[in-house]
Structure 1
């Protein structure tokens, strides 16, 4: 059983998400409502597989809190969540060592898929956006992971999420997570646009 630390000062958000992760995914969930409580939990429970940390909870001081956490626990897998952070803040969090940035507006099933990917040591790069503007035309410049490039090739050939999941022995919700991530990185709004971009690229 994997153990999650969920640190968020909004009790309703914290309790709802903790309950979902425990009941739906079978995680053991530790909770904290401040940065100091998160530090205590990380010191007390040495087997935390992923720490999910609210960007604006008491004691975080924005990204300063992430810097302190990374300094104290450099090997701890950490995700930042927030409902208000800008794309620039999200991208900076990843630069500072967060594995991903999950907007609180993200569908919970996709968040769960992302958590499972991170625990399995598969990279994901969900963030609030890309602060560097429109990427270059070649797909190699979009930051797609190997798995995302594989799924994009299958998507471009017309396969459905269900078909892709069957071929790759993945859950359909995990494929949906990757497709959502791909659309965000390519800066397109639907699968058709992603397929057109993939088919016109020489670097896929």
Structure 2
């Protein structure tokens, strides 16, 4: 699993990244101190699985970051972390497309366990007593197009957008548009959830 931590507090960022690397065997941890730096780091990491965004990022916020990452990297799972464990902030994270909201008061093993669950397609929102409606799977009335099904099949093989574009002879931007449409059609939160829903609906062979 490859993760990106975006946090502008150097001591926390380095220490937390180091601790998570040890708590998640085989995990690769990238770090960035600003939202812009995080977006640039994600561009060079095609196989990025999950991004952790601190709520306080200087002039920016983690909520803004969630929306930007959702727009530019819709298949990357997004999680907000914060020392302010307010249920309203958790709800805002859900509305911005996060698959989780984790308080910094959690122990490192507990955070690692929560991230593993999220990476597998679960949702974890500290401070909320129920799963937010915005991340509850719903049946979709839309059927993917033939081209979107081709993209879906290649996603299931683990291909990054660049390779999908090459194999289908289309622009990488077009692949991203198809992926965004698939997420909307199947009401999926991220790559793992998209493939799980596609399997459940018979769009992918078992």
- Give the TM-score normalised by the residue count of structure 2: 0.58
Residue in structure 1 matched with residue 23 of structure 2 by the alignment: 24
Residue in structure 2 matched with residue 15 of structure 1 by the alignment: 14
Residue in structure 2 matched with residue 43 of structure 1 by the alignment: 43
What's the offset of the Cα at 1:89? 1.6
Aligned in 2, Cα 1:120/1:129: closer, same or farther, shift over 3 Å? closer
What's the offset of the Cα at 1:117? 1.1
Which structure 2 segments of 5+ residues have no match?
A: 133-206
SS state at 2:125 partner: coil
Structure 1 CA distance, aligned partners of 2:89 and 2:24?
A: 29
SS state at 1:37 partner: helix
SS state at 1:74 partner: coil
Aligned in 2, Cα 1:62/1:92: closer, same or farther, shift over 3 Å? same
Residue in structure 2 matched with residue 112 of structure 1 by the alignment: 112
Aligned in 2, Cα 1:77/1:143: closer, same or farther, shift over 3 Å? closer
How many pairs does the alignment contain?
131
Residue in structure 1 matched with residue 125 of structure 2 by the alignment: 126
SS state at 2:40 partner: helix
Aligned in 2, Cα 1:126/1:62: closer, same or farther, shift over 3 Å? closer
Report 1:150-189 matches (<5 A). none
Structure 1 CA distance, aligned partners of 2:61 and 2:113?
A: 29
Structure 2 CA distance, aligned partners of 1:59 and 1:5?
A: 20
Contact 1:3 1:47 in 2 (8 A): yes
Which structure 1 segments of 5+ residues have no match?
A: 131-141, 145-204
Aligned-residue RMSD, C-alpha: 1.9
Residue in structure 2 matched with residue 64 of structure 1 by the alignment: 64
SS state at 1:52 partner: strand
What's the offset of the Cα at 1:87? 1.6
Residue in structure 1 matched with residue 194 of structure 2 by the alignment: none
- Give the TM-score normalised by the residue count of structure 1: 0.59
Structure 1 CA distance, aligned partners of 2:3 and 2:62?
A: 21
Aligned in 2, Cα 1:88/1:51: closer, same or farther, shift over 3 Å? same
Residue in structure 1 matched with residue 53 of structure 2 by the alignment: 53
